[in-house]
Structures are given as C-alpha cells and as structure tokens.
Amino acid sequence: MDYPQFPKDFVFGTATAAFQIEGGWNEDGKGPSIWDTFTHEPGAVKTGDNAEVACNTYHDYQTDIDLMAQLGLNAYRFSIAWSRVLPQGKGQINTQGLDYYDRVVDALLAKHITPFVTLFHWDMPQALEDSIGGFAGRDCAYHFADYAEVMAKRLGDRVKNWITLNEPWEHACFGHLLGNHAPDHHNPWTYFRVAHHQLLGHGLALQRIRSISPDARVGTTLSMSPILPATNKPKDVQAALIGDQFFNGFFFDAIFKGRYPDPLWSRVRLVQPKVQPDDLRLISQPIDFLGLNYYSREFGRYAWYVPFLQFWSDGNMEFDHEQVIDGMPYTASGREIYPEGLYDCLLRITRDYNNPTIYITENGAAFTDVVENDRVHDPLRVMYLDGYMTAAQRAILAGVNLKGYFIWTLMDNFEWQEGYGKRFGLIHVDHQTQRRIIKDSGYWVREMIQHQTTNEFVR
Ligand code: BGP
C-alpha cells in the first residue's frame, strides 16, 4: 500500500480539547466553565449527555499517552482548561490544576511526544462570563494574557509550542451569535466584540509568552473553509465574497495584515467593536506558525431575510452549508469529503499571507463506528485520512510550508452540543467503561508513519 509521504522532521500528532476529554469537571479546585454550565442546561446537548467524566483523562492521562506512543505519534496538541488553573479566570491560582498539566507534559516528554499547548479552546471560566461577558468584555483579553503568563511560567521550560486560540470564529459565532454553543447568546452586537477581543487576547498573550520564554514558538489556530457561491448568479457570488470575509478573511487579515477586510468591515458599522489605535498592531505581530483547522467547504447564497445576519449584510445573505452535492461522500456529521478544499486553503494561505509556517492543527471526521469482536473497522476514516493527507503532500510539493498534521482526534470524545453521539477518534471509547480500542484508522496511521521514506521526498 502507498502511504502519503512527508518531509523529514514532519510532525504527526492528534489534537484534543480539555473540555472534550478531561472530565474531573469540579475536582481539585477547578472552577466551572461556560461549557459546564451549558451542558447542564436541559436540552442544550442533543443527546442529553454531559462532560462530567468525558474520557476520564484528568485521572488517567497516562493510558492515552501510552496509546499515542503505540500509534507512533510524535506530537500532541491539547488544551488547558483555563478555570482549572484560575478558577475565577483571574487572580488566585489553583496549584493542583497547574500540577496536573505539569504531569501531562512530563508524561508526554517521557514518550518523546512534543506538546503543542492550546490556551483557549472555548471553555471560558464562568466567573469571567458572569462579570464581563467573557470575550465580549475588552478586559478579558488582558485576563487572558495574565493566564498565558501563568502557564508560560509553569510549563515554558518544557513546552516550546503554544497556540493561543482555537477557532475564534466558531467561539464568537456559535457561542455569541447563534447560541448553539456556550455561552448560548444570540447577540449580533457582541459577535464582533468577541471576535476582536479574542484576537487582541492573542496578541497580548503572544507578547507575554515570548517575554517569559524567549525560545517559545507561538502561533494561533484559525479555521478556514472555502466559501463558494451556491450558483453563479451575481448576488450569490457577492454573498459568497462577504461570507468568505466573515468566516475567513476577518481573522486571517487581522493576524497577517493588521486590518479587517472590506466590504465586510464597512457594512457592519452598526455592530463594530471599538478598535483602539494599537489593537491591530498587537494582533498582527509576527507569529511563529499558523495552526489551520480544516473540515469542509461552504456555499454562500443570497437571501432576502436572515434574522441574525441582517445587521451586517444588508439582510441579503445566508450560508447554505447543508447543501448536498450529488455523488459526493459525506461524514456522519454531514460534512462533504472533499480533500481538494484543504489543498486550496493551504495554497491560498501561502499566496495571500506571505508563506507562513503552517501546521494542520485539526482535520478528521465522524463516522458511524461499530465494535465487532474487539475491532473497529472504519474504512471510511482511512479513506478520509488518506485523501486529506495526500492533498497535504501535494500542497507541500507545490511550495506550502507545512510542518505537521494533527488528526482530529485521538479518541472518541464529548463532541460539544452533539454529546457522545459523534465519534471522531482513531481510538474507540466505550463511555460507560472507558475501555479503549484502537480502530483500523489508528493502525493505518501507525503504518503510515512507519512507512515514511523521507529521503525520497522530493520538493
Ligand atoms: C472543531 C473543534 C473541535 C471539534 C471539531 C469537530 O471546530 O475545534 O473541538 O469539535 O470541530 O468537527 P465538526 O465541526 O465537523 O463537528
């Protein structure tokens, strides 16, 4: 079998997020996060599940790290639960929380697995939500930098790769505009504030980490989806352009160009956050790498009335990502399997944003997995990973500065508002017993890593 090939020193990892795996939600001094609150609201999670236990990683991280080693992975992206370390989001430090991450980092290094630490993967401390509306409040960016400092001081001697944010668009949009994520707000006036203040928090945290740990490499993780017009009607083409700026350009232009893109920015005058003179300079300080999360492409379509978007799009647009295209394969979460989209994004970032160092920090898929005789045969996930990794290989050959690939995700986990209903892992988890079974896709990844013939990789 041919496996996708990557250059020497390529980073092969999996990615996880604290809330989705840790459990231990109220143990050893941890404060509640907005996701604890949200998942305890009846009806918020489709399956009625909560993440009080999740994958029990807070108690048994060693099992997961041993499994990573067994799969031959050389890196691991995980996130810190802000309120485990700072129960109120600021002020008093919970040393038991810090000790936990300390142990995780040491256990990874003992297995020669390089940690990539994400500081904010959506689980805002509830105390900061209550006092200032989370990132809707500008002060949150400063509290975030203080938190980054705490983490850099404690882990910076061993952690050299930091990711400030995970997908700021998703947190702002799902959490504050659509309300299908915590903190469950539907507020077009705070959407852009949350987006801007996350980016400001990124800039401030980056400075702070570098001041403490000069050899740290600091980046941030953005999602990108190609946004295509649903038809070639001029109004749909325009809708897709604005949609692209909303999903992608807003964050990429801010980080790499120090500005918010027009025409989107001027159209949202009514709901613009206050941008202070130095903000965009802070946001656009050079990063050491970009983390790219890639899942799928979307389609933009003109609509005469979309309630939550009317403030900023002249009321003239919607996004149609439910659109099913005949003949295309889909994942169990309804995402089209289209590796070319990843290739296109990688080339676009390289072209439009000055050829940054990129890590794919998430890519993966949910499928309906079945355990049969202690095995999980998941040929669709193998096909998925092979397709996307081959697209990544092609992108490198076309000049993209791609240095690593983190598969979403290590093991089946708590998939936000989907509960335990969507399985994305390379490892199957029985959420009653916590028993783990490596899926065929996990074995495929191990083989793929073992079959790297890097000396033959020609750029
Ligand atoms: C990303 C999140 C992950 C995970 C993943 C699942 O946006 O960072 O935490 O939830 O999405 O993908 P999907 O959006 O297809 O459910």
Q: Are 403 and 8 in contact (CB under 8 A)?
A: no
Q: Tell me, what DSSP letter sits at residue 184? A: -
d(CA 86, CA 108): 23
How far, in Å, from the CA of 163 to the mean position of ligand 1?
16
Q: pLDDT tens across 8-51, in order? A: 999 999 999 999 999 999 999 999 999 999 999 999 999 999 99
Q: Whose CA is nearest to atom 9 of ligand 1?
A: 17
Q: pLDDT tens across 83-124, in order? A: 999 999 999 999 999 999 999 999 999 999 999 999 999 999
Q: Which of 19, 221, 292, 408 has most ligand 1 atoms within 8 Å of CB, for mutation?
A: 408
Q: Which of 22, 167, 318, 336 is catalytic?
A: 167
d(CA 175, CA 189): 13
Owner of token pair 């997995």: 369
Sheet of strand 298-301: strand arrangement? 227-229, 298-301, 318-319
How far, in Å, from the CA of 454 to the mean position of ligand 1?
31
Write out the two tokens for 191.
Answer: 């959407």
d(CA 57, CA 67): 12
**Is the Cβ atom of 295 under 6 angstroms away from ligand 1?**
yes
Q: Give the pLDDT confidence score for residue 54 in this predicted structure.
A: 98
Dihedral in degrees, nearest 10, Cα atoms 188, 228, 385, 109: -40
Confidence of residue 321 (pLDDT cuts 50, 70, 90): low
372 is catalytic: no
**Is the Cβ atom of 298 under 6 angstroms away from ligand 1?**
no
What is residue 330's three-state secondary structure?
strand
Count Cα atoms within 13 angstroms, Cβ side, for 93: 11
Dihedral in degrees, nearest 10, Cα atoms 133, 218, 409, 112: -140
Flag whether the pTM goes above 0.85.
Answer: yes
How far, in Å, from the CA of 294 to the mean position of ligand 1?
9
**Is the Cβ atom of 414 under 6 angstroms away from ligand 1?**
no
Write out the two tokens for 39.
Answer: 């998942």
**Is the Cβ atom of 408 under 6 angstroms away from ligand 1?**
yes
362 is catalytic: yes
Backbone angles phi, psi at 358, to 5 degrees: -125, 140
Confidence of residue 459 (pLDDT cuts 50, 70, 90): very low
Q: Give the pLDDT confidence score for residue 456 in this predicted structure.
A: 58
